Amino acid sequence: EQNVVDEALALADELMEKAQNCDTGFARSVTARLLTGSAEFVPSMAVDNTIYYNGLKKEFQAWKTMRGTEKEAEVNRLLAMLDSMGRPQDQDGFDRIIGPERQQLEAALARGFKAVESAEGAEAEEGYGDYGDYDDYGDPNYF
C-alpha cells in the first residue's frame, strides 16, 4: 500500500513541476495549494455554526425534566462535555446560544439536587419540578 502512495506522490510531483514550468503563477494558485499540503489548506469561506450550536442546544433540554441523582448525573455529564470541547470557531455565536444553557447548568449544580424517594408521589423540588424548572413568575408562559 505504501508503494502505491509513493508512486502517486511521485506522479503528482511530476505534474506539479510541469504545471509550474508552463505557468509561473501556478505555484501561488488555489489549485497548487490544494495539491501541495492540502491538509493544511483552509478555504476562505464563511462557515455559519449557528445550525450546529442550535442542534447542540437540544442536548441541554432533557436534564430539566429529570429529578434527583439522575438530574445531577446529567448536569455533570453536560458540564464535562462542555469542558472537554475545544475552542469554538465562532465564540460569539457559541456564547449566545450555548452560554445561557451553561449558566443554567452551573446554577442547578450550585443549588444542589434533592434525592427523590420514589418515582411516583415524589415531592417536587422547592420552587422547581412540575413547572419545567420555573417558579410561578419565572415561567415565560405565566399569565
CA separation, residue 12 to residues 9, 19, 30, 35, 138 (Å): 5, 10, 16, 8, 64
Q: What phi and psi values does residue 142 have, to the nearest 5 degrees? A: -80, 125
DSSP annotation of 25 reads: G
25-48 pLDDT, tens digit each: 887 888 777 777 654 455 676 778
pLDDT of residue 48: 80
pTM tops 0.85? no
Asked if pLDDT for residue 129 goes beyond 60, the answer is no
List the single range of 74-88, 109-123, 124-138 with lowest mean pLDDT: 124-138
Q: What is the pLDDT of residue 127?
A: 46
Rounded Cα gap, residues 104 and 110, in angstroms: 10
Per-residue model confidence as pLDDT tens digits over 53-95: 999 999 999 999 988 889 999 999 999 999 998 888 888 999 9
